[in-house]
Structure 1
Amino acid sequence: MASEQKWLRIHNSQEWPDYYDEANVEDLRRFFDHFLRGIDNGWEETPRVRYSVLDLEGGGRTEIPATEFPPAEVEATKFYLDGNSRMLTTSAPTASAKAAYDVDAANSAVSFITTFDDDTVLVGYPKALLWVEARGSDDMDLFVLVQKLDANGTSLQAFTVPNRNARIHDVTDHGASILRYKGADGRLRVSMRHLDEGLSTDAVPAHSFDRVEKLEAGQVAEVEIDLLPIGLSFRPGQALRFVISSRNLLGTMMPGIREYAGANVIHTGGECASYLQLPVLRR
């Protein structure tokens, strides 16, 4: 990884179907032929970065060339949460508001939506900065998800494998997200919110995980949560939904996850301007 001679190709499917695709096998063979066998095959002319953008309605793109990731044209853009309107806005609300949910309720989540007026592409690292409060507990498990909605408000998903039979539907309805893409997600236990200042960047917060900081009654804590990298396009009229929950929104992946009792409160606006920061590709 320390080598200056690195190439990055970001695919748009699950890794095994992609890895064994004939064209991709030959692409990798060219790399090995050049560096292991010394063959002058023009590999060094290959773009250093090739990324993909999902459309989730059949219009995705792959092999988009760039010199770095995220591309230099990406601009980190804050979308502020408004607890009153449940909208995401590019200007911080002046009025304070709260959005809360019961941890043990069936619908233990709150969400916020923005609708795009223009063609919009997100490429890079999303993050969330939230001001949160726990009621009836001294800790919180937060799961966040960025979803794409069509013009009718229906959430869009896409299988990442060519096999889409009934069994694949069964196992991916409430889990197995590696086989069906439902959006970029992230998670954090709030008592582990302390940041490693040496590793954190504006785009990607890095947590130290070297201390436990429980919440006191009435305390409103600032937390930053990194989400998985994204490559997603939106057409006018389509929307982005940002969901916050006490449960894994993609379905539980690991056993032993304990959910805390009480209510989770998300503070927005005013002095507690929670926001979702998105990597918007400017052209």
Structure 2
Amino acid sequence: MRGGMPDNGFAEQLQNNSFWGKGQREDILAEAERHPLMNELWENKIPRFEKIDVPAYVVASYSNSLHTAGTFRAWRRMASEDKWLRVHNSQEWPDYYDAANTEDLRRFFDHFLKGEENGWERTPRVRYSLLDLHGGDRVNVPAEEFPPADVTPVRYYLDGLTRSLATTAPGVGGAADYTVGTDLDLVSFVTRFDQETVLVGYPKAHLWVEAEGADDMDLFLLVQKLDAYGTPLQAFTVPNRNARVHDVTERGTSILRYKGSDGRLRVSMRHLDEKLSTEDVPAHSFDRVEKLSPGEVVEVEIDLLPLGLTFHPGEQLRLVVSSRSPLGTMMPGNRPYTTPHGGRHIVHTGGDRASYLQLPVKPA
């Protein structure tokens, strides 16, 4: 249900393949259909992060489209004063069972459960990764917080006339549009970095959008790294990269092949939760439906998954806005999500509708 969309392909796969066992079990698919908005049923499933005060060793990655958002959310909100975050550069299973990482976790347990004075308290509170996507990833970069303290949020404004991104808002209004359900159901905006640039933290999009011929919109966003020639860069997150892995990730399986930081939002669910939203990470209440009127242009904030990316001089960043997920399905065999809303999507830019992509920029 990420972004307010009933994208239940993964849950259907679990249920239909009897992963849940043959005994009594909760039918979350029926519940999702019966209760599409936030209510007591769903609120009771949200952990009480403010009650988590035990020491915590949190492991996350940028690339798991199933777990990334929830893991970083737990890290931010838990009340524990003794918490450590390690952000790796691969898929969770090979990382967890790497001998060095297993020993690292053992030191944490030995310190807090056995009282061993093994120097664990000198471990950096945060160790994060920077992905290069050319094979030059950096891992275990130390910091005291995430994002690191020297990160600055920078707005890159969309220009619908030139399809570019720039740190200065266009003075003249423009727009970019696409028709839902066609082969070209997306628009994109590109910027080129002329110097070494590091992004680490939480990106978000602030867009002015309009639906022509429909009263709602399902928006999917993707932030990609491109090489100097405009080729999108990606990376497998698993060590096994044989033909079978190529096949299953060709049109999806986003937890096995990293293509960039993504986000999504059903525009009628755009109402923000004022208590949970921050300047860097918008949070939506999902407790109401606000349909669009003909000709209405609305302002939306969309959170994207946290990222850690290094850009070398000449390399480019591309923002994709579409009516379907550029990542494809989450797992092999999932049913792809198809929006029930048609029409034409219009992204307004510049002037008094200055849409922007906010990026967490760290000094190189």
TM-score (norm 2): 0.77
- Name the CA distance, whole Å, in 2 between partners of 1:153 and 1:3: 44
CA deviation map 1:103-158 (0-9, x unaligned): 01112000000000000000000000000000110000000000000011100000
Equivalent position of 1:276 in the other structure:
357
- Name the CA distance, whole Å, in 1 between partners of 2:311 and 2:325: 25
Equivalent position of 1:251 in the other structure:
328
- Name the CA distance, whole Å, in 2 between partners of 1:43 and 1:252: 39
Q: Does 1:69 align with 2:150?
A: no
- Name the CA distance, whole Å, in 1 between partners of 2:271 and 2:238: 37
CA deviation map 1:232-261 (0-9, x unaligned): 000000000000000011003464543411
Q: Does 1:265 align with 2:342?
A: no
- Name the CA distance, whole Å, in 1 between partners of 2:157 and 2:113: 50
Question: Which deviates further from its counterpart, 253-262 or 121-130?
Answer: 253-262
CA contact (8 A) 1:33 1:39 kept: yes
What amino acid does structure 2 have at the position aligned with 1:265? Answer: I
SS at match of 2:83: coil
CA contact (8 A) 1:82 1:269 kept: yes
Return the match for 1:166 from 240, 243, 260.
Answer: 243
- CA drift of 1:282 comes to 2.3
- CA drift of 1:45 comes to 0.3
Return the match for 1:153 from 192, 206, 230.
Answer: 230
Q: Does 1:138 align with 2:218?
A: no
Identity %: 69
CA deviation map 1:38-83 (0-9, x unaligned): 1110000000000000000011100000000000010000000000
Equivalent position of 1:97 in the other structure:
174
Q: Does 1:35 align with 2:112?
A: yes
Return the match for 1:121 from 198, 201, 205.
Answer: 198
Equivalent position of 1:18 in the other structure:
95
More strand by share: 1
CA contact (8 A) 2:126 2:142 kept: yes
- Name the CA distance, whole Å, in 2 between partners of 1:281 and 1:15: 26
- Name the CA distance, whole Å, in 1 between partners of 2:281 and 2:82: 24
- Name the CA distance, whole Å, in 2 between partners of 1:95 and 1:158: 38
Q: Structure 1 unaligned runs (5+)?
A: none
Equivalent position of 1:211 in the other structure:
288
CA contact (8 A) 2:324 2:339 kept: no
Aligned residues between the structures: 283
What amino acid does structure 2 have at the position aligned with 1:60? Answer: D
Q: Structure 2 unaligned runs (5+)?
A: 1-77
- Name the CA distance, whole Å, in 2 between partners of 1:252 and 1:224: 24
Equivalent position of 1:51 in the other structure:
128
Question: Which deviates further from its counterpart, 92-101 or 257-266?
Answer: 257-266
Equivalent position of 1:79 in the other structure:
156
What amino acid does structure 2 have at the position aligned with 1:261? Answer: G
RMSD: 0.9
Q: Which has the higher contact order (CA 8 A, sep 6+)?
A: 1
SS at match of 1:7: strand
CA contact (8 A) 2:254 2:329 kept: no
- CA drift of 1:20 comes to 0.3
What amino acid does structure 2 have at the position aligned with 1:248? Answer: S
- CA drift of 1:196 comes to 0.6
Equivalent position of 1:106 in the other structure:
183
What amino acid does structure 2 have at the position aligned with 1:168? Answer: V
Equivalent position of 2:319 in the other structure:
242
- Name the CA distance, whole Å, in 2 between partners of 1:10 and 1:241: 24
- CA drift of 1:186 comes to 0.2
- Name the CA distance, whole Å, in 2 between partners of 1:252 and 1:41: 43
Runs of 4+ in 1 over 2 A off after TM superposition: 252-259
